[in-house]
Amino acid sequence: MTPEEFRLSGYAVVDWIARYMEELEDYPVLSPARPGEIRARLPPRAPEAGEPLEAMLRDLDEIVLPGVTHWQSPNFFAYFSANASAPAILGDLVSSGLGVQGMLWATSPAATELETHVLDWLVEMLDLPEEFSSRSSGGGVIQDTASSAALCALLAARERVSDFQINQRGVDRPLVAYASAQAHSSIEKAVKVAGIGRENLTLIDVDERYAMRPQALVEAIRADKEVGRIPFFVAATVGTTSSSAIDPLKAIGEICRGHHLWLHVDAAYAGSAAVCPELRFIHDGVELATSYCFNPHKWLLTNFDCDVFYVADRATLIRTLSVLPEYLKNRATESGAVLDYRDWHVPLGRRFRALKLWFVIRHYGVEGLRRHIRRHVALAKEFATWVEEDARFELAAPVPLSLVCFRHVGGDEVNQRLMDRLNASGEIYLTHTKLDDKLTLRLAICGTYTEHRHVEQAWRLIREAAAMGHPEPTGPGKAEPGQ
């Protein structure tokens, strides 16, 4: 494809994406495809001769789109969203266009320096501890996901507690890690991948708000020490997946300091909220964290994948993950004057992901990003009041940000049927969790294009679906949405 052909094809692809954005609301949110249905429509063999772009665009419409669950639909309320935005798409396109592989500073100085700089901007934008800034002892790096960030934190903690012996000799001591019983499964996965062993991850009890009980953590650490186990790592969550609970970082951080434990804070979803000064209570105590991550790809308008991972002491992370073969040696690395991000995560190669974050921050400005977050938080609070006012439903957890956990009072089967009915309608997509062993519906309001009318419609659909199985209660105090 010549540059001129690329130009024309590129316009056609951008047109296709723009049309998709315009039509997003018309598609069934959850793909109705059955297993194998999409593959069955694809040719069994790769084409021998090249095909024109028109053929690919046609197949995108006819084969691919029916098998897409529309994560960018304003009616997508499942999981936590994966925010895409036009500026991020353009930044990503530039990254593809440049095609650089920024494993070392020397392999593309701008890829490293722009990333360092934008991540320092974010420290200020979220009012994170100064130690996380590259100007201080720490620094930030873009990882693919929060799962990778947790793994890197755990590996660095494992090295630190063993005086940097485990990388060389393997795990030869009974290390033990802690997270709340509501922590994301990525912590369990990291513990398994790092060879710590699932048995050596202790899940700490939570309180009535689903946040870790610091006293239970103290007791678990004491009990483990008494039997000769070596506590080394605590993962605290700001905004748990099930209910957006916020672990008390200050109390947990002080316990970690007292026992010399690594405190990793997983704020994958919720961290973005800290662009708003009035929501920074979520980070109360984060200055005690050894590492921290959040996902701009969840709630800060930056296309997947983009997790931002900070450490307060970069030397420990680098020492943990650095391996320097002859073929990567270069003068810039040897000078000690540059950062080589290959030493900050598991893969060697890395894309120029900072571009999309840079485009997003520059396009929206900090004020625009705050508006994005505030809109969702206000919508969630409003939705929560509608739930409270309907006798058939109850809130299942506090709503500190933009996730509403609620359930029909009729029990698990009723909630399961309700959710299946709603998701099969194609008009809305929401998912569930279990809280106190009860099936709970989650309405995560964090989509790029989600507005008041979508949330209002969601509530109408939920009420209608509930009424299909259960008659509407009569009597005073039952408000319509928005009243």
Among 83, 145, 243, 291, binds ligand PLP (CB under 6 A): 145
Burial tier of 311 (Cβ tally within 10 Å: 0-12, 13-18, 19+): buried
Q: How far is the CB of 404 from ligand PLP (least distance, A)?
A: 15
Nearer residue to ligand PLP within complex by CB, 267 or 369: 267
Nearer residue to ligand PLP within complex by CB, 76 or 386: 76
Using the rule CB under 6 A, is 448 a contact of ligand PLP? no
Nearer residue to ligand PLP within complex by CB, 238 or 462: 238
Nearer residue to ligand PLP within complex by CB, 184 or 345: 184
- Select the span of 209-217, 237-245, 309-317, 422-430 touching ligand PLP (CB under 6 A): 237-245
Nearer residue to ligand PLP within complex by CB, 353 or 408: 353
Is 455 in contact with 379 (CB distance < 8 Å)? yes
- Select the span of 103-111, 236-244, 355-363, 426-434 touching ligand PLP (CB under 6 A): 236-244
Judged by DSSP in three states, 323 sits in: coil
Nearer residue to ligand PLP within complex by CB, 108 or 272: 272
Q: How far is the CB of 141 from ligand PLP (least distance, A)?
A: 14
Q: How far is the CB of 213 from ligand PLP (least distance, A)?
A: 18
Nearer residue to ligand PLP within complex by CB, 82 or 466: 82
Q: How many angstroms separate the CA atoms of 293 and 284, rounded? A: 15
Q: Which residues contact 145 (CB under 8 A, 6 or more apart)?
A: 186, 295, 305, 307
Q: Which of residues 399-418 bind ligand PLP (CB under 6 A)?
A: none
Among 247, 266, 313, 390, binds ligand PLP (CB under 6 A): 266
Q: How many angstroms separate the CA atoms of 255 and 249, rounded? A: 10
Among 75, 83, 241, 291, binds ligand PLP (CB under 6 A): 241
Give the helix ranges, DSSP H, for 99-213: 109-125, 146-161, 166-169, 185-193
Name the residue among 240, 146, 239 with its Cα closest to residue 189: 146
Q: How far is the CB of 211 from ligand PLP (least distance, A)?
A: 13
Q: Which of residues 37-96 bind ligand PLP (CB under 6 A)?
A: 80
Q: How far is the CB of 207 from ligand PLP (least distance, A)?
A: 18
426 φ, ψ (degrees, to nearest 5): 75, -5
Name the residue among 130, 161, 138, 150 with its Cα closest to residue 259: 161
- Amino acid identity for residue 71 in this structure: W
Nearer residue to ligand PLP within complex by CB, 430 or 466: 430
Count of residues near ligand PLP by CB under 6 A: 15
Q: How many angstroms separate the CA atoms of 419 and 461, rounded? A: 11
- Select the span of 145-153, 327-335, 362-370, 401-409 touching ligand PLP (CB under 6 A): 145-153
Element (H, E) at 224: helix 214-226
Q: Which residues contact 35 (CB under 8 A, 6 or more apart)?
A: none
Retrieve residue 324's tokens: 């320097």
Q: How far is the CB of 64 from ligand PLP (least distance, A)?
A: 23
Burial tier of 445 (Cβ tally within 10 Å: 0-12, 13-18, 19+): buried
Q: How far is the CB of 178 from ligand PLP (least distance, A)?
A: 16
Using the rule CB under 6 A, is 158 a contact of ligand PLP? no
Is 267 in contact with 292 (CB distance < 8 Å)? yes
Q: How many angstroms separate the CA atoms of 75 and 49, rounded? A: 41
Name the residue among 356, 372, 342 with its Cα closest to residue 297: 356
Among 116, 237, 290, 333, binds ligand PLP (CB under 6 A): 237
Q: Which of residues 177-196 bind ligand PLP (CB under 6 A)?
A: 184, 186
Nearer residue to ligand PLP within complex by CB, 425 or 431: 431
Is 237 in contact with 214 (CB distance < 8 Å)? no
Using the rule CB under 6 A, is 295 a contact of ligand PLP? yes
- Select the span of 139-147, 250-258, 440-448, 455-463 touching ligand PLP (CB under 6 A): 139-147
Among 268, 279, 377, 462, binds ligand PLP (CB under 6 A): 268
Name the residue among 286, 255, 251 with its Cα closest to residue 270: 286
Q: How far is the CB of 396 from ligand PLP (least distance, A)?
A: 17
Name the residue among 440, 449, 369 with its Cα closest to residue 403: 440
Nearer residue to ligand PLP within complex by CB, 185 or 335: 185
Using the rule CB under 6 A, is 147 a contact of ligand PLP? yes
Calculate the CA dihedral of residues 290, 295, 301, 303 and round it to 10 degrees: 130
Q: How many angstroms separate the CA atoms of 178 and 259, rounded? A: 13
Among 92, 131, 247, 307, binds ligand PLP (CB under 6 A): 307
Across the beta sheet with 262-266, the strand order is 139-143, 307-311, 291-294, 262-266, 230-237, 175-180, 201-204
By the criterion CB under 6 A, which residues form the site for ligand PLP?
Answer: 80, 145-147, 184, 186, 237, 239-241, 266, 268-269, 295, 307
